[in-house]
Amino acid sequence: MAANDLIHFELVTLDGTKFGEDVYEVILPTPDGYIGVLPHHIPLVTIASPGIISIRRKPGDRDDQMEYYATNGGAIEVLGNVVRVLVDEADHEAEINEQEAQKAFERAQELREHAKDQVSLNEAQSLIDRQAVRLQVAGLRRRKRR
């Protein structure tokens, strides 16, 4: 397989560069839904929403061989066969503990119920969104192991 059949994918977070390799396909969360980016995608600049980033390293890889990251929002740039994703945080599936995520999710829900003003409500809601994504990624990982 020639190297030019791949696309370079960079995942940059506040905590440093989490991923920087050539891959076949990246599926990214945007406000309009998930988009798949394949090699030689047209130039595109868009917003990343909280969600799951899925990576297919080689063309023949099955869905259960994909790698997952849970992220919150940021920005996406596709330019010259390079995908750059700029997000605040990205957790690899291996870094997420499902029980912990579940507990954090419940705590966040509790926070939302007890929120007194709009600010704490917003904060709780963003925590819930974040933990929900982490839970989804943990679920995907469990399915993969079976």
Partner 1 sequence: MANTITLKRRINSVRNTRQITKAMELVAASKMRRAQEHALRTRDFYTLAQQILTRLRQLTDVTKHPLYRQQNVKTRLHILITSDQGLAGAYDANLLKQFSQELQQDHKDGVTSQVISIGRKGSSFVSRLEGVELLAAYHHFAEQPTANDIRPILNTIVGLFITKKVDAVDVIYTDYKTSLSQIVTSQRLLPAAYQDVPIEPDLEQALFEPSPEAVLEAITLRLIEAQLNQAFSEAQASEHSMRMMAMKNATDNANDLIDDLTLAFNTARQAAITQELAEITAGAEAIQ
Stretch that binds partner 1, among 10-18, 21-29, 108-116, 133-141 (CB under 8 A): 10-18
Nearer to partner 1, 126 or 136 (CB): 126
30 binds partner 1 (CB under 8 A): yes
Total binding residues toward partner 1, as defined by CB under 8 A: 31
Q: In what order do the strands lie in the sheet with 33-37?
A: 33-37, 25-30, 51-56, 67-71, 90-92
| H or E element, residue 104 | helix 98-113
The single residue among 22, 77, 98, 129 that binds partner 1, judged by CB under 8 A, is 77
Among 22, 61, 89, 129, contact with partner 1 (rule: CB under 8 A): 89
- Is residue 46 within 8 Å of 84, Cβ to Cβ? no
- Which of 58, 63, 75, 106 is close enough to bind partner 1 by CB under 8 A? 75
Report CA 140 to chain centroid distance, whole Å: 12
